[in-house]
Amino acid sequence: MSNRREFLTQAAVAAAATTVGTRALAAGNGHHPAGQAPGSGNPALPGKPPLAMDLFPPQHHYGAGGTQLGNMFRVTPDDQAEAMLEAAWKSGTRYFDTSPWYGLGLSERRLGHFLDDKPLEEYVLSTKVGRLLMPDASVDELGIWKGNLNFNYRYDYTAAGVRRSLEDSLQRLGVSKIDLVYIHDLAPSNKDLGDDWKQYLDTALKGAMPELTRMREEGIIGGWGMGVNDIEPSLAAIEHADPDVILQATRYTLLNHQDALSRLFPQSRRAEVPLVIGAPLGSGFLAGSNHWMYSTDIPQGYRQQRDRISRIAHEHGTDLRTAALQFTAAPDVVAATIPGARTAEQAKANHQSMQADIPAEFWQTLKSEGLIAESAPTPG
């Protein structure tokens, strides 16, 4: 019998042979009696959830990130959030990513409400673990999350913690399945963790990662991985555990990508662990905003680099957003790119960007001017 990694690889090869333009990996389904979670003994978690699709990700090679459903930077009204999700769905988006951290549960609640009448087999859903939420009426705004949140949080990367987190997410989402679970923000750049992040990583290696592997084999989830802003924890998970996918945010964009090309991509290929690219627009900077990676502190030279790429894009009949999104989706190790959106118009624009044609001369110009790495894969 083939082992699980061989199964994923064989399924990906079969998909590539039958689906033109689709780079996908199979998401394994657990085969257990309906209503039973073998080995868990926990009725709060579903047995044999109807996991979405035989292929991950959907054919459009991109999804929708859920940060702005959580009132990132400013309040997103309920009707605006609903309209954004509806526009994304009508455009063909079928991969949706969220987290308990996004708006301290608000993103999950809003996404779950939207998905309530959608067939489970028609979409891929991912959320995250690592923080447990606690009701706290004293909390109004918290960091980049705005509005009356009324929740606080604590970190927990233990086996029991990730089970509890997943139970809570299923309740907030109001769904009976979660396809992918990412271990969230376990990284040196997370100021909450600071110098102790390696201790948290050790806890996750002993607790969260083997527990998520068990939950995958039990059929409670479809797969798991890291959801982080730094490369080091992604490499550690690939080396010491058995992740299905890595959600790598903030480290592969038009403006910063050499480190990922040099260190992460080779290990991802070697281990056959695909990547999902988070924050492909730099939390809006590559779509024209003044936020770079969740901050208004813009690295030196980035504005000039962005403006130069934008001018070259217009000279070649395209635009900055389109170039940024397609650039992140181009590498063979990337399964999907997941830009966020706050409005229906932004969701439609993301879809249009992923469908547009960009002339090869545009990418050649960027490389010849040293604006992107010579070794960076480009579309086409």
For the stretch 320-343, pLDDT in tens is 999 999 999 999 999 999 999 999
Q: Where are the domains of the chain?
A: 64-369
Residue from 241, 176, 150, 152 nearest 37 by CA: 176
Q: Which two tokens stand for residue 30?
A: 């657990």
For strand 124-129 and strand 131-135, is the pairing parallel, antiparallel, or unpaired? unpaired
Residue 380's pLDDT is 83
Q: Which contacts (CB < 8 Å, 24+ apart) does range 26-29 have?
A: 26/54, 26/55, 26/56, 27/51, 27/52, 27/53, 27/54, 27/55, 27/56, 27/124, 27/179, 27/180, 27/222, 27/223, 27/244, 28/4, 28/216, 28/222, 28/223, 29/219, 29/222
For strand 275-278 and strand 334-338, is the pairing parallel, antiparallel, or unpaired? parallel
Q: How confident is the model at residue 25 (pLDDT cuts 50, 70, 90)?
A: very low
Under a CB-based contact definition with an 8 Å cutoff, are residues 253 and 280 in contact?
Answer: yes
Would the pLDDT of 146 be above 80? yes
C-alpha span between 161 and 208 (Å, rounded): 8
Neighbouring C-beta atoms of residue 364, cutoff 10 Å: 12
Residue 155 annotated among the catalytic residues of the structure: no
Under a CB-based contact definition with an 8 Å cutoff, are residues 311 and 374 in contact?
Answer: no
pTM of the model: 0.87
C-alpha span between 349 and 141 (Å, rounded): 29
Fold of 64-369: TIM Barrel (3.20.20)
Within its chain, how far is the Cα of 97 from the centroid?
6
Residue 46's pLDDT is 67
What length is written for the chain? Answer: 380
Would the pLDDT of 351 be above 80? yes
Would the pLDDT of 104 be above 80? yes
Would the pLDDT of 281 be above 80? yes
